[in-house]
Chain A
């Protein structure tokens, strides 16, 4: 979230789309209701199902799963056509006026530069026109046809209300009603907050779903505003924190990345990862990348990382491509993987095409599962009848199952969706011999290091030289690790503004990331966490819930990255001249010398209003991007592509390019895609209020609340198939089947799409063959093994099934 949970109360309009906050994030959703009661806000829900969120909404519009880009592009078209957007904001704070490369084009579903064989784009033309000074050209009169906003107008012109109805199945009048609500918040003193979750990410076009919404927020002038922003309601309690510390194939902590094999030296790597400013007078904060990177390397390898060895550059693995989980299970299925660790992760339940996942794990030499609970993954080798029909004797995988503590039995920080690092404390010992994940990792590492010390082996340097300065090498403490994440001074760090004074003395915890250096005199494992554990102690444990402004900012509660800033891009809550767009939402003010206010300014503190510096300081041109340059895989503007399994089998916009042309799909998985002839119904998976993923099937109270697996269908489909409420049904895709009770409901209606009826089948995910709830089938038996072109997040939310009475 650029904003945070409590801030939702400041919105005038809350659009819930691609999520179901009332059921998946019930307590957070109370702030949407608070907005409704205290701020007279309206709530809109756009969803294939009439969810519990819809039940408290002011307006509900149905939509076919997988067509959100069409709907949102239609909204953009409406806003631009009616002029119902914040024009001053759009001109000053977005790249609307910047000129695009003359070679950039879009024709018949493809952008310029497409290579059909590689299914990839050459993105050279997805760029600005640059002047002789190296800066992007702009036309503030917006007359030049190559202005971003003019290209955008042309691009979205196809998304008429009629086209929205054809593709989405949303009746035209319902769509226009939503447009009217959203357009009202283009006013300076009104904001919209969009709440979304996995209903937007789990598509082959997931990233562009979110991008389309973010463009609307830029046009409405909602970025940086209290009650606005882009608010991902993230799925797990620390999915934000694990992303922050870079536990993804090509990532490093703090949104730095691992070098590729093309970046053969530290210099070429830093050159590639440190952007040059694209406009005059910009902060371009990523220009500090070398400071963040070198400080991280000092955290990895301590004194062993030196200027002479390029801070240990060779010790980092270099990638040739991403090894995301779809890629890796494809390799595993091909017999190219020997070992796998699952730390609090249940891939048999959580990954698509469960039968492929089980077959892949069966080819491993060893699997290590660390978890507080019995997981389906840990017993994938066991025959569980129809739910997991395998031959144990033929599975040669050695499986280690290691018991870990749960949340209540350990301490540390987790990061909520609002970027708050909240420290928690241990309340009891773990059962039996269970230990923390940290102790397990340290236990394995100590044994391994001893083996390398004794026997030698393949390239032991990065292991032997890894910094491991913990009081107990076998059990590093959360406090020690948290202090490393914050970082400390390795030498006295002089204050450049005050001669003779120091930002930090040698050995001290750093006050913030502004103190980081690129000469090895500072270490910090995650630069955006600098400030979380300072000389003043653990900031993440703070518990002052005072809210002096009444806007819900609570700056003394826990600690938010970056720099305890609660609303990102908050300079944009003021006009270029420094006055707020809406006085009631004043976050920061210019006091004649610097910016100050109820939030930490997201700007150069002493840069006066009216200067050239624009508010999006992480961008090379300082502007919000309506045109994404080369940052997306499938195009700088969002475009509707059908799910890989489409119930209409065509793309009404461009029948020759039906699906995302840049999405990766492996050959065997493409063969396992079903057609609408065999599998006519649009399926989607989701959570229930009473359960959390596959954990709570182990929890008695939740198992009692929702004991048995079911699927939801509308009355139209039930009648067509002769299915009655409570019947057992078999739901099948090209990849497998599940059996469950049928819930026949008015909540799912038949939609008219591209001239045909489309029925949806709703599939809650929470059952499996392990747990204290009734045994059930893993919903991901049905889902396709294809992901978003940028993130490779699987398309769990849009696929095809058939349904019949069991």
Chain B
């Protein structure tokens, strides 16, 4: 196998094994035949934050897929962000398992409904899910919305439906949730900060 000068440098930079093998006196051709470049070199790197506790460790997520329309990107490795001032590249046993969270066999993939009294979920479309939930909300809100209390004071509240928001979701999600629940008149709103 012929190796150009350019390929040789790429090879050395790409894998320490290549450098070592070359240093030991093997020809570049043998070295190329024996090693391949690390998968990380072909990966896209995306910065994110560990979703578990509140230390907020920086993480680097590595995915394959070059962003082309038909290339589905998939994260295959996660490590601590060495530039991050708090974790400086470290992760704990929780964060070190993050890639298995993304690919958990228990990830939900489709909207489902469990009908009253049933013993199973059945798959439905998003449109059916949104339509049925909106209908439930409207029926309950229209029937139980309280415009004035016993003293005739305007209170505009709806107490028969409640909402738990997620303290692992982003600020932006939280703000949209806040707009949604208060515009409906909900007061039974909490997040994990309560417990």
Contact = CB atoms under 8 A, between A and B. Distances in A.
A318 B190 contact: no
Interface in A455-487: 455, 457-459, 462-463, 466-467, 476, 478, 481-482, 484-485
Interface string B57-77: 110010101000000111100
Contacts of A545: 83-85
B116 to A, nearest CB: 4
B193 A403 contact: no
Interface in B35-58: 44, 46-58
Given A341-B163, A434-B109, A701 B100 contact: yes
Given A27-B57, A401-B111, A300 B172 contact: no
Interface stretch (A36-44, A75-83, A135-143, A410-418): A410-418
Specify which of B83, B114, B132 lies most central, judged by the most chain A CB atoms within 10 Å of its CB.
B114
**Interface residue tally of chain A, by bracket?**
35 or more
Interface stretch (A281-289, A444-452, A503-511, A717-725): A444-452
Contact of B170 (A264, A366, A414): A414
B129 A402 contact: yes
A776 interface: no
B24 to A, nearest CB: 36
Interface residues of B, number: 118
Interface stretch (A155-163, A422-430, A614-622): A422-430
19 contacts: A236-B54, A241-B174, A245-B175, A246-B178, A248-B189, A253-B175, A261-B155, A338-B160, A347-B164, A366-B136, A403-B108, A406-B51, A416-B55, A422-B58, A426-B46, A433-B109, A433-B126, A451-B138, A526-B175
A485 B94 contact: no
A31 B56 CA distance: 14
A17 interface: no
B113 interface: yes
B176 A401 contact: no
Interface string A702-736: 10010000000000000000000000000000000
A651 interface: no
Contact of B192 (A235, A340, A373): A235
A549 interface: no
Contact of B195 (A24, A422, A424, A794): A794
A328 interface: yes
Contact of B56 (A237, A428, A547, A771): A237
A382 interface: yes
Nearest to B52: A692
Contacts of A438: 172-173, 176
Contacts, number: 482
B193 to A, nearest CB: 5
A679 interface: no
B29 interface: no
A526 B93 CA distance: 34
Interface stretch (B3-11, B15-23, B142-150): B142-150
B102 A406 contact: yes
Contacts of A366: 133, 136
Contacts of B190: 247-249, 323-325, 328
Specify which of B84, B95, B176 lies most central, judged by the most chain A CB atoms within 10 Å of its CB.
B176
Interface of B: 44, 46-58, 61, 63, 65, 72-75, 78, 80, 83-87, 90-98, 100-102, 104-119, 121, 126, 129-138, 140-145, 147, 149, 153-180, 182-195
Specify which of B92, B110, B157, B186 lies most central, judged by the most chain A CB atoms within 10 Å of its CB.
B92
A323 B142 CA distance: 20
Given A245-B174, A337-B161, A28 B46 contact: no
Interface stretch (A105-113, A209-217, A388-396, A743-751): A388-396
Given A235-B53, A433-B126, 20 more contacts: A233-B55, A237-B167, A237-B168, A239-B54, A241-B167, A242-B166, A247-B191, A317-B155, A328-B162, A351-B195, A400-B129, A403-B107, A412-B170, A412-B172, A420-B56, A427-B75, A433-B109, A441-B180, A702-B94, A791-B194
Interface string A223-260: 00000000001111111111111111110110000100
Specify which of A328, A343, A394 lies most central, judged by the most chain B CB atoms within 10 Å of its CB.
A343
A252 B95 CA distance: 32
Given A325-B190, A350-B192, A244 B171 contact: yes
Given A689-B92, A696-B101, A242 B114 contact: no
B128 to A, nearest CB: 10
Given A248-B190, A399-B114, A236 B53 contact: yes
Which 6 A/B pairs are nearest by Cβ-Cβ distance?
A344-B166, A432-B109, A416-B56, A412-B170, A403-B108, A701-B97
B154 A699 contact: no
A451 B134 contact: yes
A758 to B, nearest CB: 26
B171 A238 contact: yes
B184 A463 contact: yes
Contacts of A547: 85
Contacts of A525: 175, 178
Given A242-B167, A557-B85, A689-B93, A407 B51 contact: yes
B171 A414 contact: yes
